[in-house]
């Protein structure tokens, strides 16, 4: 009887800890593979479920020496990339990290990656929260 009561209490604690949605979610996470030592790009959609603004301030991955937040911009008819310090999401907002916009620059791969592999990337937020997400390695055309 005592074990049953303990199991029910433990289950209640586990279930109660999962009733609130996480403050942010990631979908369609992928890394665009490039050959050799060329930098790769990480794309995904980030959605805030928080009641306050969230600021994505960085990312890390054990598969790369450096991961940077970048944005593609066009100035005077020329497209180029610039580093960004943070991307802010309003409550309920989604931001697409996609070609031609925000993206992760993945520098100096520490391992040989192949299309179909999964790469763990941890997103870091200004409030100290982190979110670990699996990114699927895809070809240049997204396959």
Q: Is residue 76 assigned to a domain?
A: yes
> What is the number of structural domains in the chain?
1
Q: Is the pLDDT of residue 21 over 70?
A: no
User: Residue 11's pLDDT band (boundaries 50, 70, 90)?
Assistant: very low
Alpha carbon separation from 43 to 27, 81, 135, 136, 139 (Å, rounded) = 9, 15, 8, 10, 12
Q: Which residue has the higher pLDDT, 17 or 54?
A: 54
* pTM more than 0.85: no
Residue 8 lies in a domain: no
Q: Average of pLDDT values for 15-41? A: 81
The predicted pLDDT at position 76 comes to 81
- What 3-state class would DSSP assign to 77? coil
φ, ψ dihedrals at 98, nearest 5°: -145, 165
- Residue 122 belongs to a domain: yes
Domain extent at residue 114: 22-138
Assess if residue 14 is contained within a domain: no
Q: Which two tokens stand for residue 135?
A: 């990114």
Instruction: Assess whether pLDDT exceeds 70 at residue 2.
Output: no
Residue 60 is part of a domain; what is its CATH number? 2.60.40.1890
5 inside domain = no
Q: Cα(133)–Cα(61) distance, rounded to whole angstroms? A: 10
pLDDT for 16 beyond 50 = no
Tell me: pLDDT of 6 over 80: no
pLDDT tens by residue, 58-96: 999 999 999 999 998 888 878 888 999 999 999 999 999
């Amino acid at each position: 009887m005592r074990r049953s009561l303990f199991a029910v209490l433990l289950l209640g604690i586990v279930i109660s800890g999962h009733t609130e949605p996480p403050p942010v979610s990631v979908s369609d996470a992928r890394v665009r593979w490039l050959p050799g030592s060329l930098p790769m790009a990480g794309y995904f959609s980030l959605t805030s479920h928080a009641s306050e603004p969230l600021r994505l301030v960085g990312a890390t991955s054990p598969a790369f020496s450096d991961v940077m937040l970048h944005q593609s911009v066009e100035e005077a008819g020329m497209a180029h990339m610039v580093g960004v310090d943070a991307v802010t999401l309003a409550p309920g907002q989604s931001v697409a990290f996609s070609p031609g916009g925000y993206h992760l620059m993945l520098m100096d791969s520490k391992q040989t990656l192949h299309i179909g592999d999964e790469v763990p990337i941890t997103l870091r937020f200004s409030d100290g929260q982190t979110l670990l997400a699996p990114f699927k390695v895809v070809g240049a055309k997204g396959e």
